[in-house]
Amino acid sequence: MPVALLAAISVTATACQSSSGPGATGSDAKDTPAAASGAADYHPTPYDRIRDGGTYTSAGTFDDQGNPFNVNATLTASRVWSWYNADAITYSPTGDVQYNPDYFSDVKVSVEGGDQKVTLTFNPKAVFNDGTPIDWTAIRATWTANNGSNKAYAANSTDGYDRITSVEKGRDAKQAVITFKGVYPAWSSLFTTFLHPKAATVENFDKAYVKKAHPEWGAGPYTIGSWDTHSGNITFVRNPEWWGRKGKLDKRVYVNLESTAAVNAFKNGQLDSVSAVDAESLKQVKGLKGTEIRRGGSPFEYSLYLNSKSPVLADEAVRKAVEESVDRTQIAKIQFQGLDYREPLPGSAVLYSFQKGYQDNVSAVLAYAPAEARKELDAAGWKTGSDGIRARNGRKLEIGYTLLGDDPLGKATAGALAAMLKQAGIRLVIDKADEADFAGILSGRKFDLFVSGNRSMDPFGARYLCDFYCSDRDSNITGAGTPALDKEIRATGRIADRDRQITAVDKVERDALRQYAFLPLYSGPSTYAVKKGLANVGATIFYNPLPETVGWEK
């Protein structure tokens, strides 16, 4: 499953101040660790130590697009999907591959004549909830919808799928034989879950899961018990069609709440876990009786997206000046104030500083340099007016910033950006939008500047380089890039050796960042308040605990 988009989470505000130096996110650069935290904290508990029964309730809902393979899917969609669809391949917190024997009874990987072959043998008992056998046709359907050969599919990512030359039936229908052109080390990330063949038609891929659920096309220990389409609340119950290990919980409940309301609901005992995204929410939940704080590293990254197709940002000089004006250190201070947390500024869209092979590609290309930004704009013919705002050919240098919701902390972050850009003679116009508009804003590219995040769903970050930077990808919401750069990016996907591939990715990403349309801002910790005894919930890094293993410790 690919990276999953999420809306910006804004946290505690401070006034805009000067930077404490490149790479620093704390009050003193020397206190900043060399890498972000790679720790996991989720109370790992074996299946046989979890009691039968009970309910686990947290905040969440179906998103507009519930198909996680679709380009408009979000993190919420991916998390909900995993509770009533196949979790066939998962990863340990550090990224080791784990095959679920309830779906795959055997997995073999070989290389023949330089081409990789993966043979997946399905559990004989595996069926979709409508009775359709889970077999090689599910793998073929998932590949067909995502390989990019049919542009009618709005696929999130075609990378990897487009390297597959065939998906064929093996010794019988319960065996899928996947052949790649060359070797593809990240193949497991393509089939962590899969589509029911009926869900993989063009019509259903794009539209069937829009504000709808299809439990009949799902599989797993749980299925949908109820879904209130008015409130957005969902209850999952044990699936009578499930053949594998029984789910420990009687019910898994998602309650549709905004972040502030979710914290209050947790304090009132209505939720069993809640994300503590900022100092204020952490303060409210810390020390509550029967509660523990679980905090670890995070495969999240929040970035500033610049719409290269908007009239004012079509000028690369303006985009570069904007990025040079953004004091990322100060943005990170705003996010982390009160959290007792420091990390180096992120330097890549696809790898995290706690991963092998990571390089700070941003710093190799760009520095916080407001004086240089002013020179860029002078050279591009933008002259400063009496009000301090630049103009060219009678047009003011005004750039929109789309702010979701009315969270005062989000407003403060926008205010800090406005103060930074004003020093360069740029007026930031803050455009407010509802959080429900998130997917539409991105898919319709209805923004100038926008802060959004991504969560990596697997450790193979190099695979997603094209999703961020290729000019012909819907997932590249900045619209930047060139055919020549696309060619360079795609060439990295054909490198079989993972270490060599990452080295090549680092080089190409630096070229991509010189489009000045995408600027990583911060990652931050994953912090959760959790009722004591709740097992396998919290900061998991790359791990996605199987639904049947989530529950209450005996």
Most distant CA atoms of the chain, gap in Å: 78
Torsion angles phi and psi, residue 286, rounded to 5: -70, 130
User: What is the rounded distance in angstroms from the CA atom of residue 45 to the CA atom of residue 546?
Assistant: 12
User: What is the rounded distance in angstroms from the CA atom of residue 331 to the CA atom of residue 521?
Assistant: 7
pLDDT at 256: 92
The answer to the question of residue 357 being in a domain is: yes
Which DSSP string corresponds to 391-460?
EETTEE-EEEEEEES--HHHHHHHHHHHHHHHTTT-EEEEEEE-GGGHHHHHHTT--SEEEEEEE-SSS-
pLDDT at 194: 97
Number of domains the chain is built from: 1
Return all residues near 92 (Cβ < 8 A) that are at least 6 apart: 98, 542, 543
User: What is the rounded distance in angstroms from the CA atom of residue 233 to the CA atom of residue 238?
Assistant: 17
The answer to the question of residue 58 being in a domain is: no
The answer to whether the CB of 303 falls within 8 A of the CB of 451 is yes
The answer to the question of residue 249 being in a domain is: no
The answer to the question of residue 203 being in a domain is: no
Cβ atoms within 10 Å, residue 53: 11
The answer to whether the CB of 77 falls within 8 A of the CB of 275 is no
Q: What is the 3-state secondary structure (H, E, C) of 232-265?
A: CCEEEEECCCCCCCCCCCCEEEEECCCHHHHHHH
What CA–CA distances, in Å, run from 325 to 97, 229, 334?
41, 44, 16
Beta strands in 298-426 (DSSP E): 300-306, 383-384, 390-392, 395-396, 398-404
Global confidence as pTM: 0.83
The answer to the question of residue 474 being in a domain is: yes
pLDDT at 115: 95
Place of tokens 């891929």: 205
- Amino acid identity, position 145: A
Q: Residue 424's domain spans which residues?
A: 299-522
User: What is the rounded distance in angstroms from the CA atom of residue 153 to the CA atom of residue 143?
Assistant: 11
From the number of C-beta atoms within 10 Å of its C-beta (0-12, 13-18, 19+), residue 115 rates as middle
The answer to the question of residue 133 being in a domain is: no
The answer to the question of residue 223 being in a domain is: no
The CATH number of the domain holding residue 381 is 3.10.105.10
Q: Output the tens digit of pLDDT for each of the chain's 554 residues.
A: 445 545 443 322 222 222 223 333 433 445 678 888 889 999 999 999 999 999 999 998 877 899 999 988 887 888 899 999 999 999 999 899 999 999 999 999 999 999 999 999 999 999 999 999 999 999 999 999 999 999 999 998 898 999 999 999 999 999 999 999 999 989 999 999 999 999 999 999 999 999 899 999 999 999 999 999 888 899 999 999 999 999 999 999 999 998 889 999 999 999 999 999 888 899 999 999 999 999 998 898 999 999 999 999 999 999 999 999 999 999 998 888 888 888 999 999 999 999 988 999 999 999 999 999 999 999 999 999 999 999 999 999 999 999 887 766 678 889 999 999 999 999 999 988 877 777 788 878 889 999 988 888 889 988 889 989 999 988 899 999 999 999 999 999 888 888 899 999 999 999 999 999 999 999 989 999 999 999 999 999 999 999 999 999 99
> Could you tell me the two tokens for 48?
């046989």
> Could you tell me the two tokens for 168?
């064929």
Q: Which of 72, 100, 111 is nearest to 211 (CA)?
A: 72
The answer to whether the CB of 506 falls within 8 A of the CB of 514 is no
The answer to the question of residue 208 being in a domain is: no
Q: Which of 542, 490, 456 is nearest to 2 (CA)?
A: 456
